Structure 1
Amino acid sequence: MTDRHRRRSLLGGALRGAIAGLVATWIMDLVTTGMLEGQSKETTERERAARPNGQSTVANLLDWIEAQTGTTLDGGQRVLASQVIHYLLGIVPGALYGA
């Protein structure tokens, strides 16, 4: 196998992994939304109370990024950044695994 072929294979694997991570994250969103809609209020409240700082992992990560960079996002920017982070948490590991 030539270096060129190996690089192409590596990039192709990373791309396939990234796509798989994206699709898996999207499916996870659909399933999680359905599960949350079907569970009791008590269960939802217990889950919310167990979250660090009362926020999702993505919201806590975004707070940390803002603190480290000295930036503050407005509401719309925060929603967009949260979605980007959420999907990157599926895409990046998928790409690394696929590579």
Structure 2
Amino acid sequence: MATGFGFDRDAVLDAARQLTRVRSDLESTGQRSPRLTPTGSSDVDAALQDFTTAATRHQTALLAAVAAAAARLDGVVAGHARLDSALGSQLPTNQPSKGKTHE
């Protein structure tokens, strides 16, 4: 029913799946990050540590944003199903009425 209004359920579900894969890829990339080794310069070591800390913080925020977007798309699909059901229940059917008939 609601697909008549231009909703492509499969495309939304595919986008949600892709976002979930992106999140998984980002998580695995973060796990492969090498440990920092001393460079011999305390200034360079401190700068690298600051960079690593900031990158980790931004990665955490990015993962949360990607997960939230995937959840919203899943919510769109669930909302579409509820809307479709509600609209469909309001339409008359071609079935005969269960009341009296005119003979």
User: Which bin holds the TM-score, normalised by the shorter protein?
Assistant: 0.3 to 0.5
Higher alpha-carbon Rg: 2
Q: Which has the higher helix share?
A: 1
TM-score between the two structures when normalised by the length of structure 1: 0.42
Higher RCO (C-alpha under 8 Å, 6+ residues apart): 1
